[in-house]
Amino acid sequence: MTRLSADPHLEQCPDFTSTDLQSSCAPLLGPSTTDEQAAAILTTIWTATNSTLRIRWQGQLAADALAAAEEQRIIDEASTQHVAAEKLQADLLAEEDKKKNRLHHIPIPDRPCPTRASEAILVSDFALRKLDKVQFIELYYWTNKGLADARLNFHTTDDDSLVPTTATDGSTTWIAANAACPASGVIADHLLAPLDFSHAIPRFIASLQQRGWDSSRVLMLANFFGALMSHTYWTSDNALERHALLAYQEEQRRAWHQAIPLPAGAWNIALIDEVELSRTFDRLYHAERERADLDFEFKVRSFILKFQIDINVVCFISTCYPHLLS
How does pLDDT run along the chain (326 residues), one tens digit per residue? 788 888 988 888 888 778 777 777 777 777 777 778 888 888 899 899 999 999 999 999 999 999 999 999 999 999 999 999 999 999 998 888 888 887 777 788 887 765 544 456 789 999 999 999 999 999 999 999 999 988 887 654 445 454 455 555 555 554 554 545 566 789 999 999 999 999 999 999 999 999 999 999 999 999 999 999 999 999 999 999 999 999 999 999 999 999 999 999 999 999 999 999 999 999 999 988 888 778 878 887 887 788 788 777 777 777 776 766 55
Residues 125 and 16 in one domain: no
Going by the DSSP 8-state scheme, the letter that residue 30 receives in this structure is: B
Instruction: Report how far residue 8's alpha carbon sits from residue 54's, in angstroms, rounded to the nearest whole number.
Output: 5
Residues 265 and 123 in one domain: yes
Whether the CA torsion 253, 138, 215, 257 is positive or negative: it is negative
Q: Is residue 122 part of a domain?
A: yes
Q: Is residue 13 part of a domain?
A: yes
| The CA-based dihedral angle spanning residues 314, 319, 323, 326, taken in that order and rounded to the nearest 10 degrees | 50
Domain total in the chain: 2
Determine the structural domain holding residue 172 and report its residue range.
117-272
Instruction: Report how far residue 138's alpha carbon sits from residue 141's, in angstroms, rounded to the nearest whole number.
Output: 6
Instruction: Report how far residue 102's alpha carbon sits from residue 132's, in angstroms, rounded to the nearest whole number.
Output: 11
Residues 219 and 166 in one domain: yes
Q: Is residue 297 part of a domain?
A: no
Residue type, 310: D
Which residues, 6 or more positions from 130, have their beta carbon under 8 angstroms from its beta carbon?
A: 136, 137
- Assign residue 226 a region (left: φ > 0; alpha: ψ between -120 and 50; beta: otherwise): alpha
Q: Is residue 241 part of a domain?
A: yes
Last residue of a domain, one of 231, 252, 272: 272
Q: Is residue 234 part of a domain?
A: yes
Residues 82 and 211 in one domain: no
Last residue of a domain, one of 232, 255, 272: 272
Last residue of a domain, one of 256, 272, 288: 272
**231 and 272 in contact (C-beta within 8 Å)?**
yes
Any alpha helices (H) in 193-273, and if so which ranges? 194-210, 215-229, 239-259
Angle at 73 between CA 68 and CA 74, to 5 degrees: 100
Q: Is residue 63 part of a domain?
A: yes
**197 and 142 in contact (C-beta within 8 Å)?**
no
Residues 17 and 140 in one domain: no
Q: Is residue 106 part of a domain?
A: no
**165 and 174 in contact (C-beta within 8 Å)?**
yes
Phi first, then psi: what are they for 4, rounded to 5°?
A: -80, 135
Instruction: Report how far residue 65's alpha carbon sits from residue 114's, in angstroms, rounded to the nearest whole number.
Output: 66
pLDDT at 158: 47
pTM: 0.54
Residues 133 and 188 in one domain: yes
pLDDT at 238: 93
Measured in residues, the chain has a length of: 326
Going by the DSSP 8-state scheme, the letter that residue 176 receives in this structure is: E
Q: Is residue 98 part of a domain?
A: no
Residues 73 and 193 in one domain: no
Residues 193 and 140 in one domain: yes
Residues 128 and 71 in one domain: no
